[in-house]
């Protein structure tokens, strides 16, 4: 039997060795050591109790016929895509729930399907290559592996099949610098490419986007950004994020650290320039807390302040959004948060969009979080195994 204190120090070692947050290089550059030391099958399946969609409606058969609301509101139908604030789940596939043994690396309590049901319309994730397969992994596939990207895309497609009035945006981080054709293979394999919106010229930012109604009517209602790929006219629905989007900083360690300064793409110099170029603003709004020196985990303790629609307290989502609107002269087209159900974060998007009549959402309170005690024994054990392996990796990395 391992004592809790040992388990937690192993977990800490895991975090330390892996560089817990979504930055490509961990602080100790230890990923390769850990990856090579990981027992194969265990961790890779821990996060995915996949119930694969079995039905797949053709793209033309399910085009919306009655468009009375778009993205949960009649008011949004005739608004341009880039004049809507799309609320997003940061690291949307990396869960802190029973399926991951309540991984400290998890950024969300609920998966992408539940997020979409709750009104989230931007799903962000990090993609790694393991043996030639693109997988959704957090920092390293040994830390948190949410399964093959194609399976996840198929689930998002399934949701889009059954929700024909909804425009969805994906933002995938290309952690291992794979080719756009590698992404095309899984987008096509999942079937989701059928919904892929392609701008007239996807190689460059545009100030002119279609309205949500136009995207819904044409059934091209998935916008896919990848950071970063080289755009190719062969796969015109796969857009290189920083051709079209700019971001404020994402590595924030205190509630007073949120600002609206351009962080990427650096070449734009300032948010003002990026907006003038037609790039859409993405407002990162999630904080990390320091578990121990060099170890950052999603800041869960302050989440109700962080995700609050209020504009009164430092760190509030509502306050940060207002600050950026003032500074940029436009509202953020995209916002990313951790633990989206807190706040709930969608309230801030509704306010920016001028909506008070949202329809068709399902509250997450109707969902039960996979409890950490029921049915999670096996996964918990896996978590400890991974921690043990990471402990070895950590020891190796430090010599
Ligand atoms: C990757 O390939 C190696 C060598 O064949 C194998 O041992 C390992 O299980 C594979 N990893 C995954 C995640 O499939
Ligand atoms: C964005 O939408 C609002 C609300 O409908 C509208 O007042 C505004 O003119 C739009 N902005 C642009 C640039 O189209
Ligand atoms: C989320 O969980 C539900 C219930 O287990 C499942 O049906 C759905 O496919 C999952 N979605 C994703 C994206 O994993
Ligand atoms: C915004 O935050 C970043 C990252 O913390 C920092 O480097 C930058 O100086 C801040 N901008 C301003 C104007 O304070």
* DSSP per-residue codes, 96-147: -SGGGTS-TT--BSS-HHHHHHTT--EEEEEEEEETTEEEEESSSTTT-EEE
The confidence score (pLDDT) of residue 83 equals 98
CB-based contact 2:358 (threshold 8 Å): no
Q: Is the CB of 330 under 6 A from ligand 2?
A: no
Which of residues 306 and 391 earns the better pLDDT score?
306
Average pLDDT of the residues in 38-44: 28
Average pLDDT of the residues in 101-122: 97
Confirm whether 21 is a catalytic residue.
Answer: no
Confirm whether 285 is a catalytic residue.
Answer: no
Ligand nearest to the CA of 37: 1
Ligand nearest to the CA of 131: 1
pLDDT digits (tens, 9 = 90+) for 122-155: 999 999 999 999 999 999 999 999 999 999 999 9
The confidence score (pLDDT) of residue 287 equals 98
Dist. CA 276–CA 259, nearest whole Å: 19
User: Is a pLDDT exceeding 60 seen at residue 392?
Assistant: no
The CATH number that applies at residue 158 is: 3.20.20.190
pLDDT digits (tens, 9 = 90+) for 78-96: 999 999 999 999 999 999 9
Ligand 1 pocket, mutate which of 39, 40, 43 (most atoms under 8 A from CB): 40
Q: Is the CB of 75 under 6 A from ligand 2?
A: no
Q: Is residue 67 part of a domain?
A: no
Which residue from 32, 21, 25 is spatially nearest to 397, judged by alpha carbons? 32
Mean pLDDT is lowest, of 111-125, 316-330, 351-365, 366-380, for 366-380
The confidence score (pLDDT) of residue 369 equals 56
Q: Is residue 25 part of a domain?
A: yes
Q: Which residue has its alpha carbon closest to ligand 4 atom 9? A: 261
Residue 59: strand pairing partners: none
Dist. CA 386–CA 39, nearest whole Å: 8
Q: Which residue has its alpha carbon closest to ligand 1 atom 2? A: 131
Parallel, antiparallel or unpaired: strands 122-130 and 168-174: parallel
Q: What pTM does this model have?
A: 0.83
Q: Is residue 47 part of a domain?
A: no
Q: Is residue 370 part of a domain?
A: no
SS3 of the chain: helix, strand, coil, percent, to 5: 35, 15, 45
Q: Is residue 75 part of a domain?
A: no
Q: Is residue 50 part of a domain?
A: no
Find the domain containing 333 and state its range.
4-40+81-358+376-398
Ligand 3 pocket, mutate which of 51, 148, 160 (most atoms under 8 A from CB): 51
Q: Is residue 368 part of a domain?
A: no
Backbone angles phi, psi at 381, to 5 degrees: -60, -40
Mean pLDDT is lowest, of 112-121, 181-190, 215-224, 364-373, for 364-373
Q: Is residue 88 part of a domain?
A: yes
Confidence category of residue 293, pLDDT binned at 50, 70, 90? confident
User: What is the count of structural domains for the chain?
Assistant: 1
Cis peptide before 265 (omega within 30 of 0): yes
CB-based contact 248:261 (threshold 8 Å): yes
CB-based contact 13:28 (threshold 8 Å): no
Confidence category of residue 368, pLDDT binned at 50, 70, 90? low
The confidence score (pLDDT) of residue 14 equals 43
pLDDT digits (tens, 9 = 90+) for 294-351: 889 999 999 999 999 999 999 999 999 999 999 999 999 999 999 999 999 999 999 9
Residue 335: strand pairing partners: 87, 283
CB-based contact 196:211 (threshold 8 Å): no
Tell me, in angstroms, the distance from the centre of ligand 1 to residue 131's CA.
6
The residue count for the chain: 399
The confidence score (pLDDT) of residue 42 equals 31
Average pLDDT, the chain: 82
Which residues make Cβ contacts (< 8 Å) with residue 297, sequence separation at least 6? 15, 20, 21, 104, 105, 288, 289, 291
CB-based contact 90:284 (threshold 8 Å): yes
């Amino acid at each position: 039997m391992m004592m809790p204190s040992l388990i937690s120090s192993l977990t800490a070692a895991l975090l330390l060795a892996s560089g817990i947050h979504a930055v490509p290089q961990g602080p100790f550059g230890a990923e390769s050591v850990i990856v090579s030391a990981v027992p194969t099958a265990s961790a890779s399946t821990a996060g995915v109790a996949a119930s694969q969609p079995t039905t797949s409606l053709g793209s033309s058969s399910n085009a919306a016929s009655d468009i009375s609301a778009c993205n949960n509101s009649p008011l949004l139908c005739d608004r341009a895509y880039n004049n809507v604030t799309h609320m997003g789940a940061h690291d949307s596939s990396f869960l802190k729930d029973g399926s991951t043994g309540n991984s400290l690396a998890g950024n969300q309590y609920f998966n992408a399907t539940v997020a979409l049901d709750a009104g989230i319309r931007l799903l962000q994730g990090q993609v790694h290559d393991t043996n030639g397969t693109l997988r959704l992994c957090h920092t390293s596939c040994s830390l948190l592996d949410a399964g093959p990207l194609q399976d996840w895309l198929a689930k998002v497609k399934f949701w889009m099949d059954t929700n024909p009035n909804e425009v969805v945006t994906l933002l995938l981080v290309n952690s291992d610098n794979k080719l756009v054709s590698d992404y095309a293979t899984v987008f096509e394999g999942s079937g989701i490419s059928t919904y892929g919106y392609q701008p007239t010229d996807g190689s460059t930012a545009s100030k002119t986007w279609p309205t949500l109604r136009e995207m819904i009517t044409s059934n091209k209602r998935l916008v896919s950004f990848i950071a970063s790929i080289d755009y190719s006219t062969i796969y015109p629905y796969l857009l290189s994020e920083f051709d079209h989007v700019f971001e404020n900083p994402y590595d924030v360690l205190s509630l007073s650290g949120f600002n609206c300064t351009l962080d990427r793409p650096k070449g734009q110099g300032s948010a003002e320039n990026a907006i003038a170029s037609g790039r859409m603003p993405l407002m990162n709004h999630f904080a990390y807390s320091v578990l121990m020196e060099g170890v950052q985990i999603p800041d869960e303790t302050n989440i109700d302040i962080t995700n609050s629609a209020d504009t009164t307290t430092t760190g509030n989502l509502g306050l940060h959004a207002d600050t950026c609107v003032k500074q940029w002269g436009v509202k953020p087209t995209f916002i990313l948060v951790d633990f989206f159900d807190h706040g709930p974060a969608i309230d801030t998007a509704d306010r920016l969009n001028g909506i008070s009549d949202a329809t068709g959402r399902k509250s997450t309170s109707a969902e039960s979080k996979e409890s950490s005690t029921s049915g999670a024994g096996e996964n918990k054990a896996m978590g400890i195994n991974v921690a043990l392996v990471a402990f070895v990796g950590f020891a190796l990395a430090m010599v």
